[in-house]
Amino acid sequence: MKPLPSKSNSAWQDERANRLQRACRRLQSAIQGGKPIQKAIRRVARNLNGKPFRCDPSRRLALSPASLRRHWDKWKRSGEVPAAFALKYTASRSAIAAPVLVRFTEYCSRTCHKSMRAAWLKFCARGGNAGPGQRQGKPLKISFDQLYHNFPAAGFYQLQSHLKAIAAAQLALWQDKIRIISDVRRRLPDRLKSKCAKRQICFEI
């Protein structure tokens, strides 16, 4: 399949368009095979949603059944070509300032979370976060989608992996310390006997 004409730093956009093209082709085949469109949409979306891009593993394909249906409709109207999925950006102010994501990185390097979404929701709920959406200690009003497009998911999971490794190492350290102390106490007394015992005085002539 011929890739879309790319601008600078748009490899992942080309890959996204080609993946959506394949998703629509699979959906089209399923419909032609007699499967209900909604069932086919759910199945294709489930199989592709969250898959990392080969050219940029920090990005993942976001594909819910609702978004796939929108892509499908647009694809049909646009001639069933990858160009139908080209992203069109408009100049706008960034929704997230760099210091916010720096603090989020610090937060994720200290605390464990089951997912990046869970970490972001807890981070936003904290008071004292400076930046857009924060006034006098109120929670941040920045959506997870805005975070997802500005923060590397792979980096988050790397930090979490390091935290788990540190916790495992600390547990092993504690267990070894207890084992060594127990062995020392079992073999050695708490106090040594005094070597300065009084000598008996002998008066024999």
List, for residues 10-58, the tens digit of each pLDDT value.
788 888 889 899 999 999 999 889 989 899 899 999 998 988 988 888 8
> Is 63 inside any structural domain?
yes
Which residue stretches of 9-152 are H helix? 11-32, 37-48, 65-77, 98-108, 116-125, 144-148
> Is 117 inside any structural domain?
yes
Q: Are 170 and 133 in contact (CB under 8 A)?
A: no
> Average pLDDT of the chain?
82
> Is 182 inside any structural domain?
yes
Specify the 3-state DSSP secondary structure of 52.
strand
Is the same domain home to 54 and 123?
no
> Is 201 inside any structural domain?
no
Per the model's pLDDT, the better-predicted residue between 178 and 95 turns out to be 178
> Is 25 inside any structural domain?
yes
Secondary-structure percent of the chain, ordered helix, strand, coil, rounded to 5: 55, 0, 45
> Is 79 inside any structural domain?
yes
> Is 142 inside any structural domain?
yes
Q: What is the pTM of this model?
A: 0.48
Phi and psi at residue 202, in whole multiples of 5°?
A: -105, 125
- The one-letter amino acid code at 97 reads A
- What's the pLDDT at 195? 65
> Is 78 inside any structural domain?
yes
Is the same domain home to 178 and 109?
yes
Boundary residue ending a domain (26, 58, 85): 85
Is the same domain home to 127 and 80?
no
Cα dihedral sign, 76-81-87-90:
negative
Boundary residue ending a domain (33, 52, 85): 85
Strand partners, 60: 52
Is the same domain home to 68 and 108?
no
Is the same domain home to 79 and 102?
no
Boundary residue ending a domain (28, 52, 85): 85
Domain that holds residue 129: 95-187
Is the same domain home to 50 and 111?
no
Is the same domain home to 70 and 106?
no
pLDDT tens-digit series, residues 114-158: 999 999 999 988 866 655 445 456 778 888 888 888 888 889 999
Measure the CA–CA gap between 133 and 101, rounded to whole angstroms.
13
Percent of the residues in the chain that have a pLDDT greater than 70, as a whole number: 81
Tokens of 93: 């102010």
Q: Is the pLDDT of residue 205 over 60?
A: no
Per the model's pLDDT, the better-predicted residue between 163 and 85 turns out to be 163
Is the same domain home to 168 and 109?
yes
Q: Are 56 and 149 in contact (CB under 8 A)?
A: no
Q: How many independent structural domains does the chain possess?
A: 2
